[in-house]
Structure 1
Amino acid sequence: MNHYFTDNRQLAQNRKEITFRFSCFKFSFITDNGVFSKEYVDYGSMIFLEALEKEKLGNNLLDVGCGYGTLGVVLKKMNPASKVTMIDVNPRALELAAINAEKNETEVDIRQSDIYEKVSEDNFTDIITNPPIRAGKAVIYKIFDEAYEHLAAGGHLYVVIRKQHGALSAQKEIASVFGNCDIIHKERGYFVLKSTK
């Protein structure tokens, strides 16, 4: 089976366009086979964006596991003065993310990276992730744990995760690294977690 968190460029192409409104903006995204939530923007991402809209994000954001670009593109649109870097292991997703950034008139830095493999910076003000649950606990905990070394002092890690996918154990894991992890929003089984370095 070809998961969305792998290099699955050999899959047949079947692109489609989805549109949605968030805040005062209308967004249009191209999706395809082999990417997460290709039919519509997933509910977890929408809940995550609603929670992040209320936060004071800094000027240097990293979207880990960006997929076709929903979170990074929307956050760049809402925070135009901020630098936004988007990473994913899936080349097909990244190709779409680049198309979607241009389509929505946003300028972002997009990189293919297996978690933080191609990320040398240690000065992000905010790291955000809607983690690839199907990749397994070892992968998603690595995303959480290694975020710490890529954040500036006072920087934040934000995570959206469903309760049934281990939100409470994820909270404990993150707290063991950061010394803190708060639930800043809960809705329909989704938890938004926030930690501060």
Structure 2
Amino acid sequence: MTAEHYFSTDPDAPMRRSEIEFSVAGRDYRLAVASGVFSAGRLDPGTAVLLRKAALPDASVQGDLLDLGCGYGPIACVLASEAPLATVHAIDVNSRARELTDENAATLKLAGRVRVTAPDDVPADVTFAQIWSNPPTHVGKTELHVLMDRWLPRLAPDGVAWLVINRHLGGDSLHTWLVDKGWLVERIASQKGFRVLRVTRVE
């Protein structure tokens, strides 16, 4: 199912629905999940590390935030809950993932501030105060670099990107590549085999 999530816009797997529960920053979440979507059986360990170790936006944060590769929406829902003045763009190539994110945002009364779209449907003039991603490392290094090259330049001048990468799936090489591309990269945490990277523009 993981590979299908990365490469399919419309999953062929039968839609077997369930729910998962998790807590972040003192809030409890119950989200609908389904087969054919990344990590449908649980909150992905990398996503859990990211939400625990990165600096979540606070209530003062405004503007546009991006959840890159939203899956069924755990990151988008957390960001929208923590930053009620912000708009969260949740994007994914997987149509089933987008449907679930829409549903979960509506259930949490976040629908007006979580905009779920396919990547190509994000308005070209939107820049992001923050980008959050547990990117699809299984697509391979080349495709991962294409993804970063496409979205990181859309950070606002003072924006920040938070990425979580499995160390065994290229976490350290991505760090090096981003630095070589001219980004300021800080490893904020390393836990359970995952690197949490903070990426900003070089001043």
Q: 1:74-109 deviations in whole A, cap 9, x for unaligned? A: 111111111110000000010001011111221301
Against the structure 1 CA distance between its residues 110 and 74, is the aligned structure 2 distance closer, same or farther, given a 3 Å change threshold? same
Which residue of the partner structure matches residue 69 of structure 1? 73
Q: 1:34-87 deviations in whole A, cap 9, x for unaligned? A: 111111101111110012345669422101100000101111111111111000
Which residue of the partner structure matches residue 16 of structure 1? 18
1:91 paired to 2:92: no
Against the structure 1 CA distance between its residues 80 and 178, is the aligned structure 2 distance closer, same or farther, given a 3 Å change threshold? farther
- Distance in 2 (CA, whole Å) between partners of 1:70 and 1:54 is 13
SS of aligned partner of 1:181: strand
Which residue of the partner structure matches residue 199 of structure 2? 195
SS of aligned partner of 1:74: helix
Which residue of the partner structure matches residue 27 of structure 2? 25
2:4 partner amino acid: H
Whether the aligned pair in 2 keeps the contact of 1:44 and 1:160 (CA below 8 Å) is yes
Q: 1:152-177 deviations in whole A, cap 9, x for unaligned? A: 10111211001101111000111122
Which residue of the partner structure matches residue 118 of structure 1? 121
Q: TM-score of the superposition, structure 1-length normalised? A: 0.91
1:39 paired to 2:45: no
Note the 1:175-186 alignment, pairs <5 A.
Answer: 175-186=179-190
User: Which sections of structure 2, spanning at least 5 residues, go unmatched?
Assistant: none
Whether the aligned pair in 1 keeps the contact of 2:5 and 2:11 (CA below 8 Å) is no
Which residue of the partner structure matches residue 164 of structure 1? 168
User: Which sections of structure 1, spanning at least 5 residues, go unmatched?
Assistant: none
Query: Structure 1 segments of 4 or more deviating over 3 A?
Result: 53-58
Specify which of 173, 177, 184 is matched with residue 177 of structure 2: 173
**Identity in percent:** 29
1:26 partner amino acid: D
How many residue pairs match? The answer is 194
- Distance in 2 (CA, whole Å) between partners of 1:87 and 1:189 is 26
Which residue of the partner structure matches residue 109 of structure 2? 105
Larger displacement relative to structure 2 (150-159 or 64-73): 150-159
Report the Cα offset of residue 133 of structure 1.
Answer: 1.5
- Distance in 1 (CA, whole Å) between partners of 2:84 and 2:20 is 23
TM-align CA RMSD: 1.8
- Distance in 2 (CA, whole Å) between partners of 1:194 and 1:44 is 15
